[in-house]
Amino acid sequence: MYTYNDFDENFVRERVAQFRAQVERRLDRSLTEDEFKPLRLMNGLYLQLHAYMLRVAVPYGTLSSKQMRQLAYLAERWDKGYGHFTTRQNIQYNWPKLKDVPDMLDALADVGMHAIQTSGNTIRNVTADHFAGAAADEIEDPRPVAELLRQWSTDHPEFQFLPRKFKIAVTGSPTDRAVTKAHDIGLRMVRNDAGEPGFEVIVGGGLGRTPMIGKVIRAFLPKADLLPYCEAIVSVYNLLGRRDNKYKARIKITVAENGLEKIQNLVETRFEELKREFNGFDQELLFSIEAQFQPPVFRDAPTAAFEAYRAANPAFRSWSDTNLSDHRAEGYAIVSVSIKKHGATPGDATADQMRVLADLAERYGHDELRISHEQNVILPHVHKSDLPAIYEGLREAELATANIGLVSDIIACPGMDYCALATARSIPIAQEIAERFDELKLEHEIGELKIKISGCINACGHHHVGHIGILGLDRAGVENYQITLGGDGTETATVGERAGPGFAADQIVPAIERLIAAYLDIRNDSDETFLQTYRRVGLAPFKAALYPEKEAQNAA
Amino acid sequence: MSRPFTPKVLTANDLIEGDAVWLTADETWSRDMADAELLEDEAVAQERLIFSLTQSDVVVGAYLVDAEASPAGPVPVHFRETFRTRGPSNYAHGKQVGA
Ligand code: HEM
Ligand code: SF4
């Protein structure tokens, strides 16, 4: 794992000291809110409906157990005993007091963490495949590259005032678990004809009010050219991106308005210039970072204990069927810990749960944890013989829900329970859907299904790329929920189609139930997922299920 | 044509705690919306908004928002404002438990 060098450490400490002084000046009235607001946002401090909110970056989603314990400590000492893991691999604290925030930032710096560039028109926390370094289908661990990007983008003087926020995601596998096509820059590792690893570079993806799937700007970029190429993209955007209208300021609009070809030409020209300037120091840096991401020493041990426990314990069997993924090392598995217990708030973990996760990672998981964009926690390297012990540890902490990838594994943004921009709540809808399908005992029968909920058009809950997306709106002073269908956030990314008029809060769960009943009815067999069925039959039969009255009228 | 004026309260977030507060008739900020001054005259409402500009050392982000009279004092019209008087719906946190 990457550990801060002296430069990183000094930089972060200095930023905390600066912010401490800024908070003091705000509290003694020498700074006005207009002066202070940009400063607090630079340090990840927002103001929400009921309190401040501190957003802490978890770079490329990777945490050590020591860091996870410190997150628990922050939750307990300065918040209400829990934290919220988000789709951007951040953790948000919903209740900090302004005067405490500098202490929180110091406590984070103690474990090499910070909240820098988690807000503002800068390059944000670089996200990565949460299975990085572990996935069986991976070409290379993408995190050294993500760390390189982080170092390059942090405090980059040219890129502190971009036209708008800028998000980069990286995956080291052809299978895209990092939603790279919905980012300003998406990097997907592929091999060229000679078998060398490099990146497919995707540009101009994004969600929000104008959702767009990113376009391939370079089909194969040698790994060594990554930094100058990304710098070329960002610098072309910095000059060309619109600053007159914040709704047209993201690079997706720059690409759409100028055309991919023009952007491509500008980027390639700039890249040629920059490439000469880079003269190898970035590669030396990358090598030194790579040395810190060496895979753990995997052990060669029998897995019979795992098989025996599976045979004896149906609950464990069910959990291991849904919550494990293939690891690249023999005898190992990747464990996805569901932070989506039925009826609980998606992505919220208590301080106690964080400590249990840290302990399990330390004891059985090579001291590593990941935060996934689906708001779950991953133990990336677990030997199968340790799975029974892990399962029992998780179960005691109410963390053993067997629902990864199923109906109740819902992404939900904070919505109007916390967020000042929200037009409706999202959390209670997620809670109700999860509880309803748990009650019906149908979710394993339904199989893979991704429901994603946002509380306004900003789409922080990724609803556009949910197989079923739910968008909360305010219709004449009442919460109303619009459904989109057929969205997909993987390498076959698609923006979902709007199904029709929205539903009142008490009608949305029955509507989802009708949709899923229709799917069970029309799928070819239990191997055909909701998304596959949707792709085969289209919107019509689902629309009929959603709006039966309309259907009856048409038939009459 | 501008819309007819509807009664309002002046609300903001507390600078240190960050929670919702409302302006009372004696120009203090209360954590209980029922204490708020119901502004039924547009000119007075504008005056209060201008007053809030001098309050940057106490509150953040003041704005006028629709409210209605009730026997207990002003109450919200919009659900967003109702949530601000209570707190989140997923936990018993915030004003609904007096914290
Ligand atoms: C105080 C709370 C938040 C605020 C003020 C906020 C603000 C915004 C805004 C304004 C956008 C639209 C950007 C655009 O279209 O240009 C956006 C997009 C997004 N946010 Fe948030 N957000 C908040 C919380 C969250 C949370 C909790 C998550 C993760 C669960 C998140 C993840 C995202 C994602 C994934 C997008 C869409 C991707 C894109 O940028 O196109 N945000 N957010
Ligand atoms: S989607 Fe809207 S409601 Fe949800 S967190 Fe983002 S800005 Fe807030």
Domain ranges of chain B: 8-88
| pLDDT tens profile A94-134 | 999 999 999 999 999 999 998 877 777 888 888 899 999 99
- pLDDT at A555 (0 to 100): 59
Residue A116 lies inside a defined structural domain of this protein: no
Whole-structure pTM value: 0.93
The pLDDT assigned to A403 comes to 97
What pLDDT score was predicted for residue A270? 96
Contact B20 A49 (CB under 8 A): yes
Of the candidates A335, A468, A303, the residue with the CA atom closest to the CA atom of residue A401: A335
Write out the residue range of the structural domain in which residue A183 sits: 142-292
Please say whether the beta carbons of A303 and A382 come within 8 A.
no
Q: Is A460 in the pocket of ligand 1 (CB under 6 A)?
A: yes
From chain B, pick out residues whose CB is under 8 angstroms from the CB of A94. 88
To test the pocket of ligand 2, the residue of A119, A165, A454, A479 to mutate (highest count of ligand atoms within 8 Å of its CB) is A454
Amino acid A68: pLDDT:
97
Whether residue A319 sits in one domain with residue A282: no
Chain B nearest CA to A435, separation (Å): 14
Residue A445: enclosing H or E segment and its boundaries?
A: helix A443-446
Instruction: Write the CB contacts of A152 (distance below 8 Å, at least 6 apart in sequence).
Output: A227, A230, A231, A282
- B97 by Cβ neighbours in 10 Å (0-12 / 13-18 / 19+) ranks as exposed
Domain at A507, CATH number: 3.30.413.10
Contact at CB, B83 and A49, closer than 8 angstroms? yes
Q: What is the pLDDT of residue A438?
A: 95
Residues A313, A176 share a domain: no
Query: Is A234 in the same domain as A374?
Result: no
Domain presence at residue A131: no
Tell me how far apart the alpha carbons of residues A146 and A151 are, in angstroms, rounded to a whole number: 9
Look at residues A178, A187, A173, A243 and name the one whose alpha carbon lies nearest to residue A217. Answer: A187
Q: Last residue of some domain: A251, A271, A292? A: A292
What's the gap in Å between the CA of B42 and the closest CA on chain A?
22
Q: What pLDDT is recorded for position A179?
A: 93
Residue B99's pLDDT is what? 61
Asked if A75 and A98 sit in the same domain, the reply is yes
Q: A433 and A453: one domain?
A: yes
Question: Domain of A363: which CATH number?
Answer: 3.90.480.20
- Structure ipTM: 0.94
- Buried b / exposed e over A507-536, threshold 16 CB at 10 Å, is ebbebbbbbbebbeeebeeeebbbbebbee
Number of domains in chain A: 4
Cβ separation of A479 and B60 shorter than 8 Å?
no
User: Is the pLDDT assigned to residue B1 strictly greater than 60?
Assistant: no
**What pLDDT, on the 0 to 100 scale, is given for residue A117?**
73
- Kindly state whether residue A133 falls inside one of the protein's structural domains: no
Domain boundary among A259, A292, A325: A292
Q: Which residue in A51, A345, A418 is closest to B17 by CB distance?
A: A51
* Residue B55, token pair as written in the block: 């309050």
Q: Is B88 within 8 Å of A418 when comparing Cβ atoms?
A: yes
Q: Is residue A123 part of a domain?
A: no
Ligand positioned closest to the Cα atom of A86? 1
Quick one: A151 and A284 in the same domain?
A: yes
Between chains, do B57 and A29 touch, taking CB under 8 Å as contact?
Answer: yes
Cα separation, B89 vs B82, in Å, equals 11
Provide the pLDDT for residue A554.
66
Ligand 2 mean position to A462 CA, how many Å? 10
CA A358 to chain centre: 20
pLDDT digits (tens, 9 = 90+) for A181-210: 999 999 999 999 999 999 999 999 999 999
CB distance A37 to A100 below 8 Å = no
Compare all CA atoms of chain A with the CA of B92 and give the residue at the minimum distance.
Answer: A80
Q: Is the residue at A137 inside a domain?
A: no
Question: Which stretches of chain A drop beneath a pLDDT of 50?
Answer: none
Per the domain annotation, does A132 fall within a domain? no
